[in-house]
Amino acid sequence: MIKSGDQTHFWQDCWLEACPLKISFPNPFNIALNPDLEVSKEVNNGRWSIQFQRQFSEPLFEEWENLLELLHNV
């Protein structure tokens, strides 16, 4: 349970799966603009607003879509 998400790190903590998202989704994590943001800072009005350093390649985009599917239920 993450409550408000102020103390839970989006990429670094185990909050959505049994391991951190940086392990399950290493490619998006590697280009995340800020890999230390809290969950509460990544969501805005019910929409995820994660920022990246560059655009996605095709394989990275597929990984991102898989992560978004998991986030859809949060």
pLDDT tens for the chain, residues 1 to 74: 666 677 899 999 999 889 999 999 999 999 999 999 898 888 877 788 899 999 888 889 999 999 999 998 77
For residue 38, give the 3-state DSSP assignment.
Answer: strand
CA distance 8 to 63: 22
**Cβ atoms 41, 11 nearer than 8 A:** no
Rounded to two decimals, what is the model's pTM? 0.84
